[in-house]
């Protein structure tokens, strides 16, 4: 976990540091267990949420904070387990969790893994835990997109997080948008076609 206050001091300011999120969580060796939540996929034992997680995503105003932990080292062709935690103030309200992989040639959900689960927090808890299994098909930095949503009287609200599965040493495949050129002052500009 990033120590928020220490970072603030590092920046020599008592002002905003990544004020809306940046809840990075570093992994530790400690492993604790807590009772998992009951889901459509069954009862699961998952690590205690919080500081054991590899990362947390939460946007300003979001109804959720989402955390993940990758168990083991991903390799091509072998199932990889990802532990998920979704925090909210929803009480006992049911949450739907969806999994999506954009490049199925790069990674797929395990054959026994449903792409959607509906789950409610265990009593007196404000989070749900899930475990999802994927199978990398090639090396590189591949993303499992996880979204959590709930229904309200005024529509659906959801949040999304991309879990980075690093397989081997390959890097991320980047999408292009325009091209970099030098402007009249020799400074780099990214030129977009307006048409």
Partner 1 sequence: MKFAAKTRLAPLLALALAVTACGGGGSSASPGPTPTPNTAPTADAGLDQTATEGDIVTLDGSGSSDVDVGDSLTYAWEQTAGPNVVLSDPNIAQPSFTSPDVAIGSPAVLSFQLTVNDGIASNNDTVNITVLEAQDKVTIAGRLFYEFVPPIIRGSQCDGLDFGSTVERPIRQATVQLLDANGAVLDSTLAADDGSYSFSLVDADIEVRIRVRAELKSSGPASWDVEIRDNVDTSPNPPPLDRRPLYVTQWALFSSGVTDITDANFTASSGWSGTGYTGDRAAAPFAILDTIYTAMKTIVAVDPTATFPPVDGFWNVNNTPVSPTNIDIGELSSAFYDSGIDSLFLMGNANTETDEFDDHLVLHEWTHHFDDTFSRSDSIGGSHFLGESLDLRLAFGEGFAHALAAIALEEPQYCDTGAIPGGAGSFGFNTETNNSGTQGWFNELSIATLVYDLWDTNPDGTDTGSIGFGPIYDTMTGPQRTTPAFTTIFSFAAELRPMLPETDRDFVDTQLNRENIDTGLVDIWGDGQTTTPSGARNGGRDLTPIYTEVPTDGSIANVCINNDYVVDDVVNKLSDWRYLRFTTPTAGTWRVTAQANPVPPPTNDPPNPDIRDRSDPDLYIWRDGRFVTSGRSGDADIEIMERSFDAATYVIEMQEWRHEDDDAASDFPSRVCFDISMVAL
| 67 contacts: CB under 8 Å, gap ≥ 6 | 25, 49, 50, 53, 54, 55, 56, 57, 84, 85, 86, 87
Contact segment (CB under 8 A) with partner 1 among 39-47, 75-83, 130-138, 141-149 equals: 141-149
Q: Decide whether 77 or 124 has the Cβ nearer to partner 1.
A: 124
Q: Enumerate residues 165-194 that contact partner 1 by CB under 8 A.
A: 171-172, 174-178, 180-181, 183-184, 187-194
CB of 163 to partner 1, least distance (A): 8
CB of 48 to partner 1, least distance (A): 8
| 153 contacts: CB under 8 Å, gap ≥ 6 | none
Contact segment (CB under 8 A) with partner 1 among 2-10, 70-78, 105-113, 128-136 equals: 2-10
For the sheet containing 55-57, what is the strand order?
A: 55-57, 64-71, 80-88, 127-136, 107-109
Interaction between residue 54 and partner 1 (CB under 8 A): yes
Interaction between residue 163 and partner 1 (CB under 8 A): yes
Q: Decide whether 118 or 141 has the Cβ nearer to partner 1.
A: 141
Distance CA 151, CA 70 (A): 29
Q: Which of 89, 105, 112, 169 binds partner 1 (CB under 8 A)?
A: 89
The distance between the two most distant Cα atoms of the chain, rounded to a whole number of Å, is 63
Interaction between residue 77 and partner 1 (CB under 8 A): no
CB of 123 to partner 1, least distance (A): 15
Q: Enumerate residues 94-113 that contact partner 1 by CB under 8 A.
A: 98, 100, 102
Contact segment (CB under 8 A) with partner 1 among 43-51, 74-82, 107-115, 128-136 equals: 43-51
Query: DSSP E strands: which ranges in 89-154?
Result: 95-100, 107-109, 116-119, 127-136, 140-152
Distance CA 65, CA 87 (A): 5
Angstrom distances, CA of residue 77 to CA of 23, 74, 148: 32, 9, 27
Q: Copy the structure tokens of residue 101.
A: 């992989």
Question: Site for partner 1 (CB under 8 A): how many residues?
Answer: 92
């Amino acid at each position: 976990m990033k120590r928020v206050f220490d970072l603030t001091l590092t920046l020599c300011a008592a002002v905003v540091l990544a004020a809306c999120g940046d809840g990075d969580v570093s992994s530790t060796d400690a492993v604790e267990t807590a009772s998992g939540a009951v889901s459509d996929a069954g009862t699961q034992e998952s690590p205690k949420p919080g500081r054991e997680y590899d990362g947390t995503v939460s946007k300003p105003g979001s109804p959720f904070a989402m955390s993940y932990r990758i168990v083991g080292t991903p390799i091509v062709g072998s199932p990889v387990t990802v532990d998920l935690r979704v925090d909210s103030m929803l009480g006992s309200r049911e949450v739907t969790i969806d999994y999506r992989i954009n490049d199925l040639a790069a990674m797929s959900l395990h054959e026994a893994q449903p792409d959607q689960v509906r789950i409610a927090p265990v009593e007196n808890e404000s989070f749900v835990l899930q475990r999802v299994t994927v199978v990398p098909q090639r090396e590189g930095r591949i993303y499992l997109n996880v979204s959590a949503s709930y229904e309200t009287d005024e529509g659906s609200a959801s949040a999304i997080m991309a879990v980075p599965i690093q397989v081997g040493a390959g890097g991320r495949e980047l999408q292009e948008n325009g091209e970099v050129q030098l402007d009249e002052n020799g400074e780099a500009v990214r030129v977009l076609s307006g048409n």
